[in-house]
Amino acid sequence: MSLCIGVKTHTASPPGRWSSKDCLLTVQIIPLAFMVSVINPVLNFANQGDVCTAISGSTLFYCSQLEADITTCQKTYGKTILLSIGGATYTEGGFSSTAAAVTAANNVWSWFGPYSSSAVRPFGTAVVDGFDFDFETTVSNMPAFATQLRTLMNANTSKQWILSAAPQCPYPDAADGPMLAGAVSFDVIWVQFYNNYCGVQSFVAGSSTQNNFNFATWDTWAKTVSRNPNVKVMLGIPANTGAAGSGYETGTFLANVIAYSKSFSSFGGVMMWDISQLYANSGFLDAVTSDLGKPASVPPTTTTVTLPGTTLTTMTTTSASPTTTSGVVSEWNQCGGSGWTGGTVCVAGTTCTVYSVWYSQCNPS
């Protein structure tokens, strides 16, 4: 996979719905979000659903316009269209057993995979190019669900299928962790470097160390833990100021983040949330496209990075103790977590805040 831009779409773009005209954008992958329930299947495409019709005997609906638009995007513009499963309103919590997970995967495949006239088909004859997982809370038996979809993809040679996930940047991800721990072969992961302490806003330009922004950690995961050693890690960013609570950056700052991320061999490109926010932000896509075409920054100094919860290591990035000369941890730096051997006392005016068993950080009191 060459460097690419993926844009998730949920709320519709002008003039009121997602359409094949969105495929004129300089993006390569478009995940349609979301399938918010799988056991009792429910789709939520925001106002796109207003032009869909109910399917008799099913909780799903048929979208004739999406059927046409997906086909046009794929065949005319060469775009990759995924169905994103999960989202913030997903509440099923996964599956009660591995058998139930396999059954659910088979159902999803029949609804959105290769066409069958006997199956319920929300997109009619249109066939998506794969599936994306965007789970925000802990889910059960998801490796079995993902593995069955992967198995079905591998057995079908009609196209190049893609399986992806969208973890939060703190490692390991609370929701996708079991799938990402070597259990499932993913092609792409869209790491959400926003709404988190490790987001894009924490990048320190010109520094040989990144104490919070952790693309290096995900590069280490890709090379030492991922079931697919060729998986690509995407830099997930908000497409506008209103798209996320934090992590939206522009100009030279964002260009430096992209140049730094490009220095890692697992880097696959940029993901943006979401397409409606992108449409409202004139010039942003062009700027990111231009940044992707620029050279990578000087690769990080090589040292050993150990991922939380594993003994696997790889030589990828620098590390330094984020403490002052007195041993007191400075603002925004790590002050605790499993395996942490650095300082645990925060500088005056800050408090050591626990984010997970793996990481605590000195935040302003």
Quote the CA–CA distance of 329 and 197 in Å, as a whole number: 16
Catalytic: 136?
Answer: yes
Quote the CA–CA distance of 333 and 146 in Å, as a whole number: 35
Contact 156, 127 (CB under 8 A): no
Q: How many Cβ atoms are within 10 Å of 148's Cβ, its own excluded?
A: 19
Distant-in-sequence, close-in-space partners of 18: CB < 8 Å, separation ≥ 6: 9, 12, 32, 45, 48, 66, 69, 275
Distant-in-sequence, close-in-space partners of 99: CB < 8 Å, separation ≥ 6: none
- Asked if residue 291 has a cis previous peptide bond (ω within 30° of 0), the answer is no
Query: Which segments of 95-152 are extended strands (E)?
Result: 130-134
- Start-to-end CA distance of the chain, whole Å, equals 44
For the chain, the C-alpha Rg in angstroms (whole number) is 21
Quote the CA–CA distance of 23 and 135 in Å, as a whole number: 26
Quote the CA–CA distance of 266 and 296 in Å, as a whole number: 13
Tokens, residue 57: 């005997």
Closest by CA position to 87, among listed 48, 45, 53? 45
Catalytic residue among 67, 92, 136, 331: 136
**Residue 38 gets which letter from DSSP?**
T
Annotated catalytic residues are 136
